[in-house]
Chain A
Amino acid sequence: GAGVSQSPRYKVAKRGQDVALRCDPISGHVSLFWYQQALGQGPEFLTYFQNEAQLDKSGLPSDRFFAERPEGSVSTLKIQRTQQEDSAVYLCASSSRGTRREQFFGPGTRLTVL
């Protein structure tokens, strides 16, 4: 694949609904990251996978947020019982595990909770 892809690009949910956001990393990239970006702010780290193992989930804001990467490639970020404060752009990034560890980002999913 040419780069990191994310779907859907836009999602509107009613408060209380569950949503699932998908990330396809660059082929062969071992590490995968999720970030949340509020309007006018820099991205905030949510969680990190190395292959299928979730090594760091310290940034997840509540137990309503859950991420998985069962086969070590595609990842899904799930938000249960969405609330208005969950409205943000959700960015996914991937990197190789080499010395450089440069992160490459997808276009993001803009989530709006009404």
Chain B
Amino acid sequence: KQEVTQIPAALSVPEGENLVLNCSFTDSAIYNLQWFRQDPGKGLTSLLLIQSSQREQTSGRLNASLDKSSGRSTLYIAASQPGDSATYLCALCSGGGADGLTFGKGTHLIIQP
């Protein structure tokens, strides 16, 4: 059974810093990996999706990498802003008919103005 771990569970940094959120998983047989953000009381917003054959994806100040052999993904946020404050969730799709996502518990990020 796939297990997803996100470290750290919580992070508070001053505005302007670059930061890295980590996601590890136990089964490398994945179809894709998605990073989401969740604001309090809201649904999930998709940030980046990395296909199994890809190594990284970029969108604006966000960069996500995938290393299946080590069972790791990182989300890099450049020049953090207070509006980046949210919970960030990593989720894996195993494919092969099992298309439901397996989520980590998330990293609660606070960017101090």
Contacts and interface: CB of A to CB of B under 8 A. Distances in A.
Interface in A40-63: 40-45, 47-48, 55-56, 59
A79 interface: no
A108 B38 CA distance: 11
Contacts of A44: 103
Interface in A1-51: 4, 31, 33, 35, 40-45, 47-48
- Most B CB contacts (10 A, CB to CB) among A56, A105, A106 go to A105
A109 to B, nearest CB: 10
Contacts of A91: 43-44
Contacts of A102: 32, 34, 46, 49
Given A41-B105, A100-B51, A48 B46 contact: no
B21 interface: no
Nearest to A4: B43
A103 interface: yes
A43 B97 contact: no
A4 B43 CA distance: 10
Interface residues of A, number: 29
B110 to A, nearest CB: 15
For this complex, into which size category does the number of interface residues on chain B fall?
20 to 34
A55 B36 CA distance: 25
Interface string A92-110: 0101000111111111101
B100 interface: yes
Given A91-B44, A107-B42, A107-B43, A101 B99 contact: yes
Nearest to A33: B100
Nearest to A9: B41
A40 B103 CA distance: 12
10 contacts: A31-B99, A33-B100, A33-B101, A41-B105, A42-B104, A43-B101, A45-B102, A56-B99, A101-B99, A102-B49
